[in-house]
Amino acid sequence: MANVEISRILKTRLIDLLNQEYLLGDKFFEELEKIYNSVEDQSDKEVFYSNFLEIVSHLEFPEEIAKEHWDKIKERYKELSKKLGRTISVRTAIIDYFTYNTNVLRNPVVIEIFLYDSSSLKVYVDDMTGLYNYRYFKEALWAESKRAERYNLFFSVAIADIDDLKSINAKHGEDVGSMVIKTFAKIVDLNKRAEDVVCRYGGDEFVMLLPETSKAGAIAFLSRVKRKFEDAIKEKGISVTVSAGTSEFPSDTKDPVTLVDLADKALYVAKLRGKDKIIAWNRGIE
């Protein structure tokens, strides 16, 4: 009998994690555990590992058996890495375990993970940048606010805007404007942590969900991204700046919708103060 499927948003998070596997190395197991601990829906939690293994191996197991297999795969990962003297991929350990330890995978086929469920991902992905879109952000924000409330955690929301993109389009053409947007998307994606969620918010705006990050931490992250982006664009002979605003849960508000609104208001203040600034929300700027 086929496993009961997890929600689309959770499946998308798992596929996204698998896409980052080669960058994460040993941290992959920690990041998967973080996702498991963040699941609020009990029905999702009860089929978490069975669905994860089905995504990566197309093998179906009851949840209890899937969890046993996963624990043994983690041990196999450590054994193989030690024997080879180098870090191996998680999927290598999975294939080795199921082909040699259990003999349930007789003819494994290796495919890119994005081919697994492109229809699930497409609804959440921005076509131009390859980042998530605002639809995904809203669901991720809701899930993170529930997790933070339950475990007494904090997180920040940030909104970044490329200053005067219309002027760049008018002066250099829309192709250059698109290049500027794609460059920002690439740089912020390369500099974020695995648990951070970065989405394209509008034409030249990006919204970010930064778990267990204070406003000060958000400003540090945004400053780093801003500097690297502006330097990269300058190398192409174009001068461009970024403005951003950030707010923090729960110190600014416990309401997710209001949290985004406060970050947007902080961004608005940054624009009013001459652009090229990062502003953290506080009641003194109202």
Local structure of 86: helix, strand or coil? coil
Query: If you average pLDDT over every residue of the chain, what do you get?
Result: 86
Q: Please, which pLDDT band fits residue 2 given cuts at 50, 70 and 90?
A: very low
Count other Cβ atoms within 10 Å, centred on residue 127. Answer: 8
pLDDT in the model for residue 122: 65
Residue ranges, comma separated, of all CATH 3.30.70.270 domains in the chain are 132-285
120 has pLDDT over 70: no
60: Cβ–Cβ under 8 A, 6 or more apart, which residues?
2, 3, 50, 54
pTM for the whole structure: 0.65
pLDDT interval class at 109 (50, 70, 90) = very low
Cis peptide, bond prior to residue 62, ω within 30 of zero: no
Cα-atom radius of gyration of the chain, to the nearest Å?
Answer: 21
Mean pLDDT for 226-250 is 95
pLDDT(31) > 80: yes
Q: Has residue 73 got a pLDDT over 70? A: yes
Please give the CATH number for the structural domain made up of 132-285: 3.30.70.270
